[in-house]
Amino acid sequence: MIVVIGEILIDIFQDYQRIGGAPFNFAFHLKKLGFAVRFFTRVGNDRNGRRIIDMLKKNGFSEADIQIDSRYPTGTVRVDLDKQGVPHFDICENVAYDHLDINISDMLDAGGAEMIYFGSLLQRTDSGCRQVQRFLSRKTDSTLCFCDINMRPPHVNVHAVAGSLQHADLLKVNEAEFADIQRTFDGPAATGDVMPWLMESFKISAVALTRGSRGSSFYNRDGEINIPSVPGIPIVDTVGAGDGYAAVLAAGCMQQIPWEETIRQASRFAARICGIAGALPDDENFYDDFRPLIKGDSNGR
């Protein structure tokens, strides 16, 4: 069982809208890849909230894990794409997911979580930070913590970032976030020293560093793996590419697929996401090429 906590919201593009949010995108992909997932979130008692609940139910998520807020609205994000399809986000504050009530017994005891996925946007408020950090501190030693730091200035709580890094067993971070962490926590100036410093300082077992068009790198105690970007796929936009990458990374980890193959497939999946509008495919067949690789037999690590 994979437990996912965090935001679900409405991405508002210039000409259309999509249901999104990094934790939801992550949970959706894993559900479609055949994994047992519980996704805990909170929406408003409004039109957007009802639209989200209907969509979650149609895709096999439990309505019992969705909290409804009678005071605060469903989260929304204005998404503006530049000429390269790279998004710029304007995220609304004080919305329903900021008030998610994280109940330990519901999320951990009943679920028997093998992995917990969390990010930092849910922790942008002091209350959210306290709840998430308390939740993570009470997990069992056998539960893997996957942190997708997902820092979106100005919605960054430094205390939440520090706590999240300390709890992370597996971390996904992009280059901009990596540089922000280096500056915020006084990391070493020499480029080659930063990753060892990060992993040692926060006791992180493995880190995936995404580099956009230059591919990605993976680091653990066995060394470094570098995978180039996938060529030849026309980019519609890059919204949700990192979330797709994270989902396949988690899937490979859960199935004990060798890391190099996991990173290769995560990169391929992210490239495919860049070829569609928004973060999620409308066609179920999108996942057909990836289900056998993720759910098939592997030689392990």
The pLDDT tens digits of the residues spanning 181-202 come to 999 999 998 888 999 999 999 9
Percent of the chain with pLDDT over 70: 95
Cα(46)–Cα(63) distance, integer angstroms: 16
Please tell me the CATH code under which domain 2-294 is placed: 3.40.1190.20
Cα(235)–Cα(232) distance, integer angstroms: 9
Query: Lowest mean pLDDT: which of 36-50, 60-74, 82-96, 105-119?
Result: 105-119
| 213 or 162, higher pLDDT | 162
pLDDT surpasses 50 at 19: yes
pLDDT by residue (tens digit) across 22-65?
999 999 999 999 999 999 999 999 999 999 999 999 999 999 99
Cα(115)–Cα(210) distance, integer angstroms: 21
Q: Could you give the count of Cα atoms lying within 13 Å of 8 in the half-sphere of its Cβ?
A: 29
Contact 63, 54 (CB under 8 A): no
Query: Lowest mean pLDDT: which of 19-23, 211-215, 255-259?
Result: 211-215
| 141 or 177, higher pLDDT | 177
pLDDT value of position 105: 57
Percent of the chain with pLDDT over 90: 71
Tell me the mean pLDDT in the region 210-216.
Answer: 92
pLDDT by residue (tens digit) across 149-161?
988 888 889 999 9
pLDDT surpasses 70 at 111: no
pLDDT surpasses 50 at 297: no
For 123-160, the DSSP string reads: GSSHHHHHHHHHHHHTS-TTSEEEEE---BTTB--HHH
Residue 208: both structure tokens together:
């995936």
| Amino acid, res. 283 | D
Pairing type for strands 66-69 and 9-12 reads unpaired
